[in-house]
Amino acid sequence: MPGKVVQSVWTDISPVNSQAIEDTGYATQKPEALLERIIKASSNENDLVLDCFCGSGTTPAVAEKLGRRWIACDLSRFAIHVTRKRLLGIAGVRPFVVQNLGKYERQVWQSAEFKSQNAEPSSIQQAYRKFILDLYHARPVKNYVWLHGVKGGRMVHVGSVDAPVTAGDLANIAAEFKKAVGTGQDAPATNGVDVLGWDFAFELNEVARQQAAQANLDVRFFRIPRDVMDKRAVEQGDIHFFELGALKVDVRLPKSEETSEVSLTLTDFVIPLDDVPQEIQKSIKHWSQWVDYWAVDWDYKGDAFHNQWQTYRTRKKPALELSTTHRYEQPGEYTVLVKVIDILGNDTTKTLQVKVG
Ligand SMILES: C[S@@+](CC[C@H](N)C(=O)[O-])C[C@H]1O[C@@H](n2cnc3c(N)ncnc32)[C@H](O)[C@@H]1O
């Protein structure tokens, strides 16, 4: 072949320029041309490319464009956020899933922290819950399975480290709560329950809130912060539990049987402000500025979220679209899942039922 053999030091590919279209603002981003050379030289179409430290996602983005399959990992939530958004911006990107494997770290922490000699799994659980309740300034209660503590008259549930809190858990909490009313010292004094969890199942946000309201329970959901695993933060008493965000969506159903168009409009989005640095709070003038992008699965089947539509700001189009419309091919009842990703990289989801035809 004509040309020159590539040397082991490559100086012919320039770093990403801050004006370049591919620039994501990620500090250590590599140029796509560099990854293109590496991926082309070392794989064929449909091969599997792995980048365990994907940063802004240059490797998966180039692998996707070159028709390779890929797996990308990073421990930074911000890196995952940038990567996901970057991939969604590729025309014709194939479906992909984002999975959170953080549980391993939490499981290791739990057994290292709470395992005394020959401890039974149940006593590790108990010690873990007591630790979390102390940090939440709640008092542990006994004799219940789903209710673990009490704080200011509200009962407290502590979610486990290795599974998200689900709507099923909430049904159990509500059932136990009902039985416990009026039973003595540790009985609920109000109709309030605080549910603390590391992760929350998709459907939890709104559906679970509705279920709880039907059972006449006032439920609040709080995220257990990663800081609880950080000895220094715990010693400094610097632990905050933040309430989950809330999202309001207006749905416009077809006016007649002839049309099958459903429209959605975001009408409000609230995130717990304690989580947000002061200077960011000050610069936000309208709730929609909290939304980095949002996406819709028009036919959610209860398994993976299928990103069928999404919108975000671009340099050319700095205003965020707040409405979208979808035409269903078949009449029927559908579950719609709306997912909002806020500017801090958190997901907030809401499911809606629509009937067409
Ligand atoms: C040099 S950057 C990668 C930049 C990337 N090639 C790009 O083009 O944007 C290294 C990344 O590794 C991540 N990282 C560091 N230690 C890690 C670990 N133990 N597991 C997973 N990711 C890690 C960092 O968060 C950072 O995003």
Q: What is the pLDDT of residues 277-325, one digit of tens each?
A: 888 888 888 999 999 889 999 998 877 778 888 888 877 888 899 999 9
For residue 77, what pLDDT is reported?
74
For residue 121, what pLDDT is reported?
76
* pLDDT tens digits, one per residue of 250-266: 999 877 766 789 999 99
Spatial CB neighbours of 149, under 8 Å, sequence gap ≥ 6: 129, 133, 136, 138, 139, 140, 141, 155, 156, 158
Determine if ligand 1 sits within 6 Å of the CB of residue 28: yes
User: Ligand 1: which of 24, 28, 86, 104 to mutate, most ligand atoms within 8 Å of CB?
Assistant: 28
75: left (phi over 0), alpha (psi -120 to 50) or beta: alpha
Residue nearest to atom 22 of ligand 1 (CA): 74
| Residue type (1 letter), 208 | A
pLDDT tier at 223, thresholds 50, 70, 90 = confident
Determine if ligand 1 sits within 6 Å of the CB of residue 30: yes
Distance (angstroms) between ligand 1 centre and the Cα of 51 equals 9
How far does Cα 186 stand from its chain's mean position?
Answer: 34
Residue nearest to atom 14 of ligand 1 (CA): 53
Class of domain 103-242: alpha beta
| Residue type (1 letter), 292 | D
**H helix intervals, the chain:** 32-42, 58-65, 77-88, 103-114, 121-135, 167-180, 209-214, 231-235, 278-283
For residue 325, what pLDDT is reported?
95
For residue 187, what pLDDT is reported?
76
* pLDDT tens digits, one per residue of 27-57: 899 999 999 999 999 999 999 999 999 999 9
Residue nearest to atom 3 of ligand 1 (CA): 55
Paired tokens of 316: 């050319």
Distance (angstroms) between ligand 1 centre and the Cα of 52 equals 7
Q: Where along the chain do the CATH 2.60.40.10 domains lie?
A: 245-356
Alpha-carbon distances, residue 49 vs 46, 60, 91, 92, 256 (angstroms): 9, 8, 20, 19, 49
For residue 206, what pLDDT is reported?
63
Contact 266, 248 (CB under 8 A): yes
For residue 255, what pLDDT is reported?
74
pLDDT tier at 346, thresholds 50, 70, 90 = confident
For residue 264, what pLDDT is reported?
96
Question: Distance (Å, rounded) from C-alpha 312 to C-alpha 323?
Answer: 12
For residue 328, what pLDDT is reported?
92
For residue 314, what pLDDT is reported?
77
Work out which ligand 1 atom sits closest to the CA atom of 53.
12
Work out which ligand 1 atom sits closest to the CA atom of 51.
6
pLDDT tier at 204, thresholds 50, 70, 90 = low
Determine if ligand 1 sits within 6 Å of the CB of residue 77: no
Higher pLDDT, 71 or 311: 71
Overall residue count recorded for the chain in this entry: 357
User: Ligand 1: which of 74, 77, 87, 99 to mutate, most ligand atoms within 8 Å of CB?
Assistant: 74
Residue nearest to atom 2 of ligand 1 (CA): 55
Determine if ligand 1 sits within 6 Å of the CB of residue 188: no
User: Ligand 1: which of 53, 56, 104 to mutate, most ligand atoms within 8 Å of CB?
Assistant: 53
Distance (angstroms) between ligand 1 centre and the Cα of 24 equals 15
Strand 139-140 and strand 149-151: the pairing is antiparallel
Determine if ligand 1 sits within 6 Å of the CB of residue 56: yes
Q: Where along the chain do the CATH 3.40.91 domains lie?
A: 103-242
Distance (angstroms) between ligand 1 centre and the Cα of 15 equals 17
For residue 248, what pLDDT is reported?
87
* pLDDT tens digits, one per residue of 119-173: 777 788 999 999 999 999 999 998 899 999 999 989 999 999 988 888 889 889 9
For domain 1-99, the CATH architecture is 3-Layer(aba) Sandwich (3.40)
| Mean pLDDT rounded to a whole number for the chain | 87
Residue nearest to atom 18 of ligand 1 (CA): 75
For residue 118, what pLDDT is reported?
63
| pLDDT, mean of residues 3-9 | 88
For residue 47, what pLDDT is reported?
98
Question: Distance (Å, rounded) from C-alpha 354 to C-alpha 357?
Answer: 10
| pLDDT, mean of residues 232-258 | 82
pLDDT tier at 16, thresholds 50, 70, 90 = very high
For residue 145, what pLDDT is reported?
94
Question: Distance (Å, rounded) from C-alpha 189 to C-alpha 184?
Answer: 10
Identify any residues that bridge with 155 across adjacent strands, giving them in sequence order: 150, 193
Distance (angstroms) between ligand 1 centre and the Cα of 43 equals 22
Identify any residues that bridge with 264 across adjacent strands, giving them in sequence order: 251, 324
For residue 315, what pLDDT is reported?
76
Class of domain 245-356: mainly beta
* pLDDT tens digits, one per residue of 73-113: 998 777 888 899 899 889 999 999 888 765 677 888 898 89
Q: Where along the chain do the CATH 3.40.50.150 domains lie?
A: 1-99
| pLDDT, mean of residues 234-250 | 84
Work out which ligand 1 atom sits closest to the CA atom of 26.
9
For residue 237, what pLDDT is reported?
83
Residue nearest to atom 1 of ligand 1 (CA): 28
Distance (angstroms) between ligand 1 centre and the Cα of 109 equals 22
